[in-house]
């Protein structure tokens, strides 16, 4: 099974900062990677699919890149609403898996 490793586990930043979250796959998954945002008590929300494609309605300050085993999610000019937990998700096969999550906190 494919293991996904996210870093960092926790990230402290301020409104207006630009932050980057990294996700590594234990084997190549081409570009079959998605990113989700989750706020406390809520279901996750799809932000990016196929590594770099922005889901409809998601602000353009969110961007994704990478292929193979290394992927990044970048959030530019952080808004107060962006402080949440972020997960990567590989779907190279039906046996999909998630990273352990990155909690983005206000500094």
Partner 1 sequence: EVQLVESGGDLVQPGGSLRLSCAASGFTFNKNAMSWVRQAPGKGLEWVSTITDSGAGTYYADSVKGRFTISRDNSKNTLYLHVMNLRAEDTAVYYCVKSWVGGTTPNAFDIWGHGTMVAVSS
Contact positions toward partner 1, by CB under 8 A? Answer: 1, 32, 34, 36, 38, 43-46, 49-50, 55, 87, 89, 91-101
Q: Report, in Å, the least distance between residue 96 CB and partner 1.
A: 5
Closest approach, Cβ 81 to partner 1, in A, equals: 18
CB of 50 to partner 1, least distance (A): 7
- Closer of 17 and 92 to partner 1 (Cβ): 92
By beta-carbon proximity to partner 1, the closer residue of 44 and 66 is 44
Across-strand partners of 7? 22
For partner 1, the closer of residues 28 and 77 by Cβ is 28
Structure tokens at 104: 């983005």
Which of residues 46 and 84 has its CB atom nearest to partner 1 in the complex? 46
How crowded is residue 28: how many other Cβ atoms within 10 Å of its Cβ? 11
């Amino acid at each position: 099974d494919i293991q996904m490793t996210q870093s960092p586990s926790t990230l402290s930043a301020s409104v207006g900062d630009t932050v980057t979250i990294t996700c590594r796959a234990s084997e190549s998954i081409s570009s079959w990677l998605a990113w989700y945002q989750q706020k406390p008590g809520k279901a996750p929300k799809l932000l990016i699919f196929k590594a770099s494609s922005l889901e409809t309605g998601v602000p353009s300050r969110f961007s994704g890149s990478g292929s193979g085993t290394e992927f990044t999610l970048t959030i530019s000019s952080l808004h107060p609403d962006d402080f949440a937990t972020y997960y990567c998700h590989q779907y190279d096969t039906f046996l999909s898996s998630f990273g352990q999550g990155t909690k983005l906190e206000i500094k």
